[in-house]
Amino acid sequence: MPTKLRAAIIGAGSIGGAHIQGYLDTGRFDIVALADLNAEAMAEANELYDIAPVHYLDARQMMEEVRPDVVSVCTWHKGHSPWTIAAAAFKPQAILCEKPMADTVGAAERMLIACERNDVKLAIAHQRRFLPSYTLARNLIAEKAVGDVNLIQSLGGDGLPNFSSHQADMYRYLLSDDECIWVMGNIERKTDQYERATRIEDRAMAVFQFAGGPRAMILSDLVTNHYQGALIYGSDGMINLTTESLQLLNSETGGRWELRVPDGKFFTVEAVGHRFEWIEGAAAQADELADWVEGKIEVHRGQGEHGYKALQMVHAVYESARMHEKVEMPLQTRVNPLDLMVESGHLTPQRPGRYDIRIGRLRNENMTEDTEN
């Protein structure tokens, strides 16, 4: 029996649990350690996933003593860069860090550099790349099943960095990782709104132009419904994509919508219902990570550069709003343009009073923020 990879998790909260489940579902990992500021969170993870890893309140001590093969960084956004860099110093074989890759493009660049210098493989958890409906749509687009893609349209919410980090990444995945060449967008921010301790806007909309010709458009917090997926308009057909299935309409379907519900590598929609996107995405992403670490493949579908580009696209919307211009990519601004706009007085909240839409996720009354300390 092949040796299992030893995985450790930094941040044993909700998505930390999804990573644990994903690693276990592949049968290729042991969960050897958890690090969290909150002992209760780790105890809950033990119970929920029926595991018995070593617990640490200090992630650096965990890295030093356990020396895991693979590390998941599952803290809030601002912790992604400092903890990836801290973990990279201990030279695990791979780090799987949550999205958005970082809170600034500069911080994401430092992650890429730290991992490269320490010879650590870095992947960013845009796990929808591993959903079979997304891959089917990507393949159909590549085969020109809808002709030339003119527009990919999606609806986001809860601020661009969280939800639409996935959508920015989805555009590129659907277009065979085509490059975004410019971004034009605008935002409104009348309230002092945060999402997991990162400033977010009240509303946004943006257009993304890709090198090969297609365009994508996002409406975020502008309409009441939002979902992961897209409406894809081509010169010869359309795809209506969700995380579980897709519908295709083209001349071969006789102008009618044809439903496809592809099976995952580990689960089927039929068997697990709405849990499919989470458990299939997490398992397939972890499985490919094991392949990558074991040298069976050269590239991971979620490798660092893709997370970096998705973050650039999101921050380019803010930069477009800040500069009132079409932003040419790659984005040159290393700090968060939304922070810049607010801190420079360019965008003053008209209804002051900071609040965090994820406040309910914090444990304890000290309202611990997710930072490197």
Q: What single DSSP character describes residue 183?
A: E
| By the rule CB under 6 A, 10 interacts with ligand NAD | yes
Pick the binder of ligand NAD from 8, 41, 122, 187 (CB under 6 A): 41
Cβ proximity to ligand NAD: between 25 and 36 the closer is 36
Burial class, 373, CB count within 10 angstroms (exposed 0-12 / middle 13-18 / buried 19+):
exposed
Q: Count residues contacting ligand NAD (CB under 6 A)?
A: 26
Pick the binder of ligand NAD from 26, 81, 154, 162 (CB under 6 A): 162
In the three-class reduction of DSSP (H, G, I as helix; E, B as strand; rest coil), residue 245 is classed as coil
What 3 state SS string does 84-132 have? HHHHHCCCCCEEEECCCCCCCHHHHHHHHHHHHHCCCEEEECCHHHHCH
Region binding ligand NAD by CB under 6 A among candidate stretches 37-45, 238-246, 256-264, 283-291: 37-45
Q: Which position has the token pair 């030093």? A: 64
Pick the binder of ligand NAD from 66, 74, 141, 321 (CB under 6 A): 74
User: Can you tell me the distance from the alpha carbon of 47 to that of 55, in angstroms, rounded to the nearest whole number?
Assistant: 13
What 3 state SS string does 215-231 have? EEEEEECCCCCCCCEEE
User: Can you tell me the distance from the alpha carbon of 134 to that of 78, in angstroms, rounded to the nearest whole number?
Assistant: 28
Minimum distance, C-beta of residue 334 to ligand NAD, in the bound complex (Å): 20
Region binding ligand NAD by CB under 6 A among candidate stretches 32-40, 213-221, 313-321, 331-339: 32-40
* Contact (CB, 8 A) for 293 and 93: yes
| By the rule CB under 6 A, 336 interacts with ligand NAD | no
| By the rule CB under 6 A, 300 interacts with ligand NAD | no
In the three-class reduction of DSSP (H, G, I as helix; E, B as strand; rest coil), residue 14 is classed as helix
Minimum distance, C-beta of residue 361 to ligand NAD, in the bound complex (Å): 4
Cβ proximity to ligand NAD: between 250 and 312 the closer is 312
Pick the binder of ligand NAD from 5, 15, 32, 187 (CB under 6 A): 15
Minimum distance, C-beta of residue 41 to ligand NAD, in the bound complex (Å): 4
Pick the binder of ligand NAD from 33, 35, 123, 321 (CB under 6 A): 35
Point out which residues pair with 165 in neighbouring strands.
none
For residue 337, is the peptide bond before it cis, meaning its omega torsion is within 30 degrees of 0?
no
User: Which residues are near ligand NAD by CB under 6 A?
Assistant: 10-16, 35-38, 41, 59, 74-77, 79, 98-99, 125, 127, 162, 196, 361, 370
